[in-house]
A and B are shown apart, each in its own frame.
Chain A
Amino acid sequence: MTLKPFDRRSFLQMLAAAGSAPFVLDIGAAHAETPLTVGILYSGSKQDYGFNQSHAQAAAALKKQPGIKVIEEERVPETIAAQRSMEGMIRQDGAQLILATSFGYFKPHVLEMAAKYPDVTFAHTGGVWTAGMPENIGTFYAYIFEAQYISGIVAGHMTKSKKLGLVAAKPTPNLLRSINAFAIGARSVDPAIQVQVIFTGDWVLPVREAEATNTLVDQGADVIAAQVDSPKVVIETAEKRGVMSCGYHSSQAEVAPNGYLTGAEWNWITPYLVYAGSVRGGKKPEHYLRAGISDHFVKNSPFGKLVTPEARAAADKARADLIGGTLVVYSGPLKDNKGNVVIPAGVMQSSNDRALDGINYLVEGIIGQV
Chain B
Amino acid sequence: MDVTSIGWLTLPLAILGGAIRVSTPFIFVSIGELITEKSGRINLGLEGTLMLGAMAGYGVSYLSGSPWLGVLAAGLAGTAFGLVHGLLCSVKRVNDTAIGISLIVLGTGLAFFFGKPLIEPKAPALPSISLGFWSSVPQVRAASDVNALFFVGILLAFAVYVFLNRTGWGLMLRTVGDSEDAARALGFPVLRVRILATMAGGFLAGIGGSFLSLSYPGSWSEGLSSGQGIMAVALVIFARWRSINALGASLLFGGAGALGPALQGVGVTGYYYLFNAAPYILTLAIMVASTSRAAPFADAPGELKLHR
Cα of A211 to Cα of B261 in the assembled complex, Å = 7
B10 touches A218 (CB 8 A): yes
The stretch of A30-38, A149-157, A200-208 in contact with B is A200-208
Which secondary structure dominates where chain B touches chain A?
helix
The stretch of B60-68, B157-165, B264-272, B289-297 in contact with A is B264-272
B221 touches A230 (CB 8 A): yes
Known contacts A205-B226, A211-B22; decide if A236 and B119 are in contact (CB<8 Å).
no
B222 touches A214 (CB 8 A): no
A198 on the B face (CB < 8 A): yes
Interface centre among B7, B122, B217, B267 (most CB of A within 10 A): B217
Q: What count of chain B residues pass the 8 Å CB interface test?
A: 46
Who on chain A is nearest to B262 by CB?
A: A215
User: Within 8 Å CB of A75, what residues of B?
Assistant: 112
CB-CB contacts below 8 Å: B218-256 with A = 218-219, 221-224, 226, 228
B1 on the A face (CB < 8 A): yes
A9 on the B face (CB < 8 A): no
A230 touches B223 (CB 8 A): yes
A48 touches B266 (CB 8 A): no
B257 touches A48 (CB 8 A): no
Who on chain A is nearest to B139 by CB?
A: A218
B142 touches A241 (CB 8 A): yes
User: Within 8 Å CB of B188, what residues of A?
Assistant: none
Q: Closest CB-CB distance, B18 to chain A, in whole Å?
A: 6
Contact of B223 among A163, A206, A215, A240 (CB under 8 A): A206
Q: Closest CB-CB distance, A241 to chain B, in whole Å?
A: 6
Q: What mask results when residues 212 to 227 of chain A are scored 1 for a CB within 8 Å of chain B, else 0?
A: 1011111111100000
B217 touches A207 (CB 8 A): yes
A368 touches B217 (CB 8 A): no
B120 touches A47 (CB 8 A): yes
A255 touches B122 (CB 8 A): yes
B142 touches A218 (CB 8 A): yes
B134 on the A face (CB < 8 A): no
A215 touches B14 (CB 8 A): yes
B222 touches A368 (CB 8 A): no
Who on chain A is nearest to B14 by CB?
A: A215
Interface centre among A163, A206, A222 (most CB of B within 10 A): A206
Q: Closest CB-CB distance, B158 to chain A, in whole Å?
A: 26
A204 touches B13 (CB 8 A): no
Who on chain B is nearest to A205 by CB?
A: B226
B272 touches A199 (CB 8 A): yes
Interface centre among A208, A218, A222 (most CB of B within 10 A): A218
A206 touches B226 (CB 8 A): yes
Contact of B4 among A45, A197, A220 (CB under 8 A): A220
B21 on the A face (CB < 8 A): yes
Known contacts A45-B119, A211-B21, A212-B264; decide if A206 and B224 are in contact (CB<8 Å).
yes
Contact of A220 among B5, B17, B21, B267 (CB under 8 A): B5
User: Within 8 Å CB of A160, what residues of B?
Assistant: 1, 3
A208 touches B265 (CB 8 A): no
B1 touches A242 (CB 8 A): yes
Q: What mask results when residues 201 to 224 of chain B are scored 1 for a CB within 8 Å of chain A, else 0?
A: 000000000001000111101111
A294 on the B face (CB < 8 A): no
B119 touches A207 (CB 8 A): no
Known contacts A211-B21, A216-B265; decide if A45 and B222 are in contact (CB<8 Å).
yes
Cα of A210 to Cα of B22 in the assembled complex, Å = 10
Who on chain A is nearest to B271 by CB?
A: A369
Cα of A73 to Cα of B216 in the assembled complex, Å = 30
User: Within 8 Å CB of B90, what residues of A?
Assistant: none
A243 on the B face (CB < 8 A): yes
Cα of A254 to Cα of B122 in the assembled complex, Å = 10
B119 touches A48 (CB 8 A): yes
B260 on the A face (CB < 8 A): yes
A104 on the B face (CB < 8 A): no
B6 on the A face (CB < 8 A): yes
Known contacts A218-B6, A218-B14; decide if A367 and B139 are in contact (CB<8 Å).
no
B258 on the A face (CB < 8 A): yes
B265 touches A210 (CB 8 A): no
Cα of A243 to Cα of B13 in the assembled complex, Å = 19
Contact of A198 among B3, B261, B273 (CB under 8 A): B261
Q: What mask results when residues 9 to 51 of chain B are scored 1 for a CB within 8 Å of chain A, else 0?
A: 0100110011001100000000000000000000000000000
- For the complex of A and B, the 7 pairs showing the least CB-CB separation, nearest first, are A220-B5, A215-B265, A369-B269, A204-B223, A212-B261, A210-B217, A218-B139
Binding site for A on B (CB under 8 A): 1, 3-7, 10, 13-14, 17-18, 21-22, 112, 116, 119-120, 122, 139, 142-143, 212, 216-219, 221-224, 226, 228, 257-258, 260-262, 264-267, 269-270, 272-273, 276
18 A–B contact pairs at CB < 8 A?
Answer: A44-B222, A45-B112, A197-B264, A207-B217, A211-B261, A215-B262, A215-B265, A217-B3, A218-B6, A218-B13, A219-B265, A219-B266, A222-B1, A233-B217, A236-B219, A240-B218, A243-B3, A367-B267
